[in-house]
Amino acid sequence: MRFYFAGDTGYCPVFKEIGARLGPIDLAAIPIGAYEPRWFMKPQHTNPEEGLQIALDVRAAVSIGIHTATWSLTDEPLDEPPARLQAAVQERGLPESSFVTLQHGEMAVVRGGKLENQPKTLPVPV
């Protein structure tokens, strides 16, 4: 399995080069949160639409949105990034399973560049 972790990043043309050299990617972890205000955060944090473009550029079969809904560090509401991501995926006519977000405690199974399950919450050990 080929895995790509984008980390903290703004969008830039290097992602197309990554896709050309290393793609296709089976699973990518791509940031979609902590992006407002744009004038300040754009160089280091992608918004959901830019995150989707990274997924397309690196040729990721499945992507999971990261850096979202954990801490309220920036100006966007915590529930905004997943909603904007879902809208961007639909707008591009991509399968919903191509880029997902997980709630805390959820897991997704990816094999062979395909999401095998709907993300589900794991039981918490007592």
Q: What are the extents of the domains in the chain?
A: 3-121
**Structure confidence by residue, pLDDT tens digits, 6-55:** 999 999 999 999 999 999 999 999 999 999 999 999 999 999 999 999 99
Give the amino acid at 63. S
Low-confidence winner among 43-47, 55-59, 65-69 (lowest mean pLDDT): 65-69
**Structure confidence by residue, pLDDT tens digits, 91-107:** 999 999 999 998 888 88
pTM of the model: 0.90
Continuous segment of H or E residues that includes residue 72 = none
- Report the pLDDT value the prediction gives residue 69, as an integer from 0 to 100: 82
- Are the beta carbons of 13 and 50 closer than 8 angstroms? no
